[in-house]
Amino acid sequence: MHTVDAVIVGGGPAGSTSAWKLREAGLDVLVLDRAAFPRTKLCAGWLTPEALADLELNSQDYPLSIMTFDRLHLHWKAFTVKLKSRQHSIRRLEFDDFLLHRSRARILQHRVRDIRRDGNDYVIDGEFRCKYLIGAGGTACPVYRTLFQKRNPRISAFQTATYEQEFAYDWQDPACHLWFFDDGLPGYAWYVPKANGYINVGLGGMADQLKMQDGHLRQFWSRFVRKLKHRGLIDYADYNPAGYSYFLRGHADAVKSDNAFIVGDSAGLATRDMCEGIGPAVKSGLLAARSIITGADYSVAGINKFSGSGLVSRILERRFVGQNRGRTEVSENLD
């Protein structure tokens, strides 16, 4: 049996942030991830300056692909607003690997299946024993499923479905474009250029609303890539998009149970207006580590539910989450 102070399940930004801070405090930390890093993570890779600052990084020193935008091009029907806002794009393939290795935690490729309590410890798959357990395994996190699901069920009104692709492309327009509610999409589509000749395009919408209108992201995708071609943004023949589902910030009431914690997508923390998840993942990772190190309470109540502020954020929240915030639990296996 392998015994450590803390096991972290999942090496994305939530898990690697906790690992980094716990290692700084001198704990023996093991990160278990089912994937071998560097691994593909479906994500537009839009990163806020706040998240970068929380990670104690700045765009000049980050050694891998990073681009900075001073404006976001927001489109709705025939209107375009060039919103002044400093934002970054990174490639998750590189970024997550960088953060995980920077943490100096031990990393093992292992898919976690079984979690049991043994006295004051947790035993994982009969192989790993720890005092502290952090669930950072994203939507399908086994720590969430085993220890938190009953008290903190996933609510369908907060579920978002996405479809996207990142690929090498000699893009000519260096702006970040977002199209809201095109063709009735209950969400938005994006064009996010990356440094070193990559592009990420995709779309996301609220799963409940898509079901209600009998729509599928594949149909929106076909129209979207035609539009990218028509606007002269991308002319590409080899599209092969993939989908992933995660949860916007709902009723994240129970996030700690004894010495077990859930952070990031495992706790369902993405913002209700822009579906931004990296920033909340990092913040929750920091807070969970702080709780372990200092004994402080762990709560996600102080993490922003919105990426923006003001009326536009409220309008987007209303369109995305709507009035339907009832506790319709999501029961299907999201793995």
The site for ligand FAD (CB under 6 A) is made up of 9-15, 32-35, 39, 41-46, 111-112, 136-138, 140-142, 162, 164, 202, 244, 246, 264-266, 270, 276-279, 281
Q: Find the shortest distance in angstroms from Cβ 64 to ligand FAD.
A: 16
Q: Which is nearer to ligand FAD, 27 or 271 (CB)?
A: 271
Phi, psi of 26 (to 5 degrees): 95, 10
DSSP at 182: G
Q: Return the residue matching tokens 């720890």.
A: 130
Q: Which two tokens stand for residue 245?
A: 């589902």
Nearer to ligand FAD, 26 or 302 (CB): 302
Distance, in Å, from the CA atom of 223 to the CA atom of 86, rounded to the nearest integer, reads 29
Q: Least distance (Å) from ligand FAD to the CB of residue 131?
A: 19
Nearer to ligand FAD, 157 or 203 (CB): 203
Of 111 and 226, which has the nearer Cβ to ligand FAD? Answer: 111
Q: Whole-angstrom Cα distance, residue 262 to residue 255?
A: 5
| CB nearer to ligand FAD: pick between 33 and 94 | 33
Asked if 106 and 20 touch (Cβ cutoff 8 Å), the reply is: no
Q: Taking the complex as a whole, how short is the minimal distance between the CB of residue 231 and ligand FAD, in angstroms?
A: 21
Q: Which is nearer to ligand FAD, 26 or 257 (CB)?
A: 257
> What sign does the dihedral 104-107-112-117 (CA atoms) show?
negative
Nearest distance, CB of residue 245 and ligand FAD, angstroms: 7
Strands (E) located in the chain: 2-9, 29-33, 46-47, 66-76, 79-90, 106-109, 115-118, 121-124, 128-135, 159-168, 176-180, 187-194, 198-206, 242-247, 256-257, 260-262
Compare residues 166 and 232 and give the one whose CB is closer to ligand FAD. 166
Min dist. Cβ of residue 41 to ligand FAD (A): 5
- Taking the complex as a whole, the smallest distance from the CB of residue 294 to ligand FAD amounts, in Å, to 22
- The token duo for 221 is 């995708």
CB nearer to ligand FAD: pick between 10 and 250: 10
- In the complex, the smallest distance separating the C-beta of residue 108 from ligand FAD, rounded to whole angstroms, is 9
Q: Where are the alpha helices (DSSP H) in the chain?
A: 13-24, 49-54, 92-102, 142-143, 207-212, 217-230, 278-294, 311-320
38 versus 232: smaller Cβ distance to ligand FAD:
38
Q: Nearest approach, Cβ of 78 to ligand FAD (angstroms)?
A: 25
Chain residue at closest Cβ approach to ligand FAD: 277
Minimum separation from the CB atom of position 198 to ligand FAD (A): 14
Which residues make Cβ contacts (< 8 Å) with residue 100, sequence separation at least 6?
11, 15, 16, 19, 31, 33, 37, 107
For 290, other C-beta atoms within 10 Å of its C-beta total 17
Tell me whether the omega of the peptide bond preceding residue 280 falls within 30 degrees of 0, making it cis.
Answer: no
Residues 6 or more apart whose Cβ sits within 8 Å of residue 39? 33, 93, 96, 97
